[in-house]
Amino acid sequence: MRYSSGHKLETKEKLLQSSAVSAKKSGFSTVGVDGLMKAIGLSGGAFYSHFSSKDELFATIVERELRQSLERLGAEQDREKLERCLKLYLSMSHVEHPETGCALPALGAEIARSDMKIRLQAEHWICRLQESWADILHSDSLAWAILSQCIGALVVARMLATPDTQRRVLKSSYDEIGRQIAGPVA
Amino acid sequence: MRYSSGHKLETKEKLLQSSAVSAKKSGFSTVGVDGLMKAIGLSGGAFYSHFSSKDELFATIVERELRQSLERLGAEQDREKLERCLKLYLSMSHVEHPETGCALPALGAEIARSDMKIRLQAEHWICRLQESWADILHSDSLAWAILSQCIGALVVARMLATPDTQRRVLKSSYDEIGRQIAGPVA
DNA sequence: GTCTATACTACGATAGAC
DNA sequence: GTCTATCGTAGTATAGAC
């Protein structure tokens, strides 16, 4: 073969990374295969050496993004570390840069419209994160509620027009989560 | 003119209603002008007698949807009524029927990617809802937090594959919101 | 593995008949 | 106001050269 054996893997890796950025920034359905390939310096036709369809790319992106994001978020081991983690999640930087942030607020609606295979992947990783937080907080219910609240706060803040209001949304969720966590000590 | 004066208004109303349903169900960028018109029994070309572009339709949909949803949600006058309202919002029926539900979980990401004019509309109505809830709860912060949590819970639940887990997400948010509301009595 | 070229479909939008 | 026809572009996907 004219290309080294590692080349295909490298290219696929670049494509996945770049496509995830584009999808989170502009929405997966709105970006075209041609644009995704141009973004890594290749032509559109080369795409199908790596994925059999655009849908297969989406499935792979979702699986990778959720594993990465949620493993990182779920790695915290106590309340203090979890709170520091949530501070970053609920930050203006995260609001302003969906392309490098969590896939759930950015792609949630598109995942919801996907087929069962993708939603099972999503459920798998989301449940793992919830379990991790439930261990720390000693409450299943609180873990689910905080998880929903974080994602919702990002979705809401990103819809707004003025940074001032965006900051208010983020700070409110952060503060109220702080009260909830401080409340029911096990 | 060959059509009665009320006909255009009626047609536009039907188009707006039908388009909002399609957009919330499948995503606005995914549905085409042709399909939107066929859904109300007209041809694609007739669309431009009502809107100058697809983007203008989206702006109108967002404005209408937010005014309708958020005025209804913001009409509650005390905690008891607010809680009943949240029970409906956080229901399996709402998860399973995005097409007739709140536009924020379904179109949030697309609104976030829209231009300033649309995001200002979104901010206007979201802030009104927040103010209404803040009055009831006597807390600005709690109102924002609950608002984010409701939207987040819908987004998360819709991404999941199994109804059981979906129910758990909804119930958790509902229960935790109940605790938050019951807590800091003014 | 990547390229160019292409088939085929769909999109948003416009023009002209009625 | 709505229709049909059409323009121009862009979408996904495939075929064949290198």
Tally of structural domains, chain B: 1
State whether B27 and A113 contact (CB < 8 Å).
Answer: yes
Q: What is the pLDDT of residue B170?
A: 98
Residue in B155, B171, B172 closest to A108 by CB: B155
Mean pLDDT (whole number) for B10-25: 98
Cβ-based contacts of A126 with chain B (< 8 Å): 156, 159-160
- pLDDT tens per residue, range A102-155: 999 999 999 999 999 999 999 999 999 999 999 999 999 999 999 999 999 999
pLDDT-above-70 percentage for chain B:
97
Residue span of the structural domain in which B124 resides: 55-182
Could you write out the DSSP letters of every residue in A109-127?
HHHHTS-HHHHHHHHHHHH
Mean pLDDT of chain A, nearest integer: 95
CA–CA separation, B48 and A78 (whole Å) = 58
User: Does some domain include residue A100?
Assistant: yes
* Strand segments (E) across chain B: none
Which bases of strand C sit closer than 7 A to a protein CB?
1-6, 10-16
Mean pLDDT (whole number) for A48-55: 98
Q: What is the pTM of this model?
A: 0.97
Q: What is the pLDDT of residue B3?
A: 75
State whether B156 and A169 contact (CB < 8 Å).
Answer: no
Which of B31, B128, B141, B148 is the best residue to mutate to test the A interface, defined by the most A CB atoms within 10 Å of its own CB? Answer: B148
Q: What is the pLDDT of residue A184?
A: 56
Q: Is B162 left (phi over 0), alpha (psi -120 to 50) or beta?
A: beta
Mean pLDDT (whole number) for B57-83: 93
User: Does some domain include residue A25?
Assistant: no
User: Does some domain include residue A3?
Assistant: no
Cβ-based contacts of B158 with chain A (< 8 Å): 108-109, 112
Q: Which residue of B has its CA nearest to A114?
A: B159
Which bases of strand D sit closer than 7 A to a protein CB?
1-6, 10-16
State whether B177 and A123 contact (CB < 8 Å).
Answer: no
Q: What is the pLDDT of residue A4?
A: 76
The CATH number given to whatever domain includes residue A110 is 1.10.357.10
User: Does some domain include residue A172?
Assistant: yes
Q: What is the pLDDT of residue A1?
A: 57
User: Does some domain include residue B23?
Assistant: no
User: Does some domain include residue B81?
Assistant: yes
Residue B2 has pLDDT above 80, yes or no: no
Mean pLDDT (whole number) for B120-143: 97
